[in-house]
Structure 1
């Protein structure tokens, strides 16, 4: 039984060592490919693997077709739109993610970016504070819950809307102290800052549009640590052109990054590379969770975190 760790952007070395220990101590063979530059290298490495751990690596139909022994793909992280779920299901391959392992790292980055921008990139000029600003959370999964916890320390009222949770569901999450919104429109109506935390699905693609953005105040702030595709970039550009104090903060460079940067240099910030999960703690948490899920899958048939249909 061969387990492949395939990461174009590698885990920290101590995380790799721990992953290898978990795999080998349970009687499986461990192999890895890191910092590869060609898809052909991934295809060659995966052709005799029974399971693979990936990060943001693309596992499409071509890669899956080249791996006849593959039974399990584990995405070390929450999002899994980099895996062709239909192709995996057709080949009877289970696809899992590791929800929650990167949540704190992403949540802390949300506030790091907000403070950086509100303090004018620490250029010494007079900035602004977070205290008292209404924070809206669009979706309420693991990351959003951590954002809500941190926001309480800033004395921020927190609203939350989830398409898959009712208002009663949100009220039951009492430890997070959120005020439920019954629609995305209501969320934006009641927020000064909206932070996006939804996965990329067909129903969420470009769901943040002009109608929603126009409901934020003139100096509203949109924060995106989810996926670039959930925002309609043309609509966002229009709002920022109409409102000279509107700001966009993102951990994922939009397709129109150069245009945003040129037009709104003081009101637009994007991290040079996606950084939400880039902490040593998140590296270790997600990698070890992936390794343990592989062991549980092959030894116990555990498919707890399966994300594709059988």
Structure 2
């Protein structure tokens, strides 16, 4: 089988070497396309491949139809909205992600940005501590669980609400020490900080609006390491205009980035690009997991991490 690693933003070299070793040790051919600049390059590269490993690269219907041998796509990372799942199903292609591999990296970034915000961007002015501030986790997947574990070290009460997990599921997560919020309104109403961790789905698109944000304290903090489309930006701007101490930090630059920056330079921060998984550790973990999943798929049909029908 021919396996293509296609990354416009390449993995670190040790990760690429590890992926290649796993693929070739299993008897498959390994090829790579790195730092490509347009879709036509990817269209040409997929013509004769059986498997594809990507990062945030867009894989649409046209690309799939250009790859008649393609059987599996693995998105090295948790989110997979960059892959057209319906088209993949129609083409008979299995799509997987690598859940949990980037979780610690993203969780550490959450706390880095929280401290940065509460210490006023380290500008020398008097800031605030995290200890005993109430933290709300909107969704409770792998990243949120790591955030909850780290929060225990800061002595932060942690509330969690999940649109997909039942209340019994949340109550069973005793090792994380979370307090179950039974509605999203209860979560926002009981949290000084809210950290967003849900995937982008039709039911989660623009789910964080004025009605929810208005339940937070005057000096609340919203942290977004998930997707920019979860937040109604005009509503967040309105809240920050009404509340001179409200803050927003994110590693998914909003569409209205320049407006946020102009109006709230000391209460808003966005990373230059999505940085949640940008550590050498997470980079390698996700890449190696993707390679191992492809090998298992071809060896014994393992579809454990399949995300499409």
- TM-score w.r.t. the length of structure 2 is 0.99
CA distance in 1, matches of 2:211, 2:49: 47
Matches within 5 A, 1:2-13: 2-13=2-13
Segments of structure 2 that go 5 or more residues without pairing to the other structure are: none
Q: Distance in 2 between matches of 1:125 and 1:155?
A: 24
Q: In structure 1, what is the Cα distance between the partners aligned to 2:122 and 2:206?
A: 32
Out of 125-134 and 95-104, give the one that drifted further. 125-134
| Gap runs ≥5 in structure 1 | none
Show CA shifts across 1:264-298 (max 9, x none): 10111000111000000001100000000000001
2:206 match: secondary structure: coil
Counterpart position of 1:277: 277
| C-alpha distance in 1 between matches for 2:110 and 2:177 | 18
Alignment RMSD: 0.6
CA contact (8 A) 1:51 1:71 kept: yes
2:149 alignment partner in structure 1: 149
Report the Cα distance in structure 2 between the residues aligned to 1:124 and 1:207, rounded to whole angstroms. 35
Which of structure 1's runs of 4+ aligned residues deviate more than 4 A?
none
Given the alignment of the two structures, is residue 194 of structure 1 paired with residue 194 of structure 2, yes or no? yes
What secondary structure sits across from 2:292 in the alignment? helix
1:112 and 2:118 matched: no
Quote the Cα distance in structure 2 between the aligned partners of 1:265 and 1:124: 15
Q: CA contact under 8 A between 2:120 and 2:267: conserved in structure 1?
A: no
Q: Deviations over 1:62-90 (max 9, x none)?
A: 11111111000000000000000010000
SS in 1 for 2:203: coil
Which residue does the alignment assign to 1:39? Answer: 39
Question: d(CA) in 2 for partners of 1:118 and 1:217?
Answer: 14
Q: CA deviation at 1:118?
A: 1.1
Match of 1:53?
A: 53
Partner residue in 1 for 2:30: 30
Give the corresponding residue for 1:290. 290
Q: Residues of 2 paired with 1:232 and 1:290: CA distance?
A: 33
Distance 1:8 1:160 in 2: 35
* Contact 1:166-1:182 within 8 A present in 2 as well: no
CA contact (8 A) 1:261 1:268 kept: yes
Q: Any conservation in 2 of the 1:205–1:229 contact (CA below 8 Å)?
A: yes
Which residue pairs with 2:307 in the alignment?
A: 307
**3-state DSSP of counterpart to 1:69:** coil
Query: How far, CA to CA, are the matches of 1:290 and 1:38 in structure 2?
Result: 23
Structure-1 residue corresponding to 2:134: 134
Mapped partners of 1:290, 1:284: distance in 2: 10
Following superposition, the deviation at residue 47 of structure 1 comes to 1.2
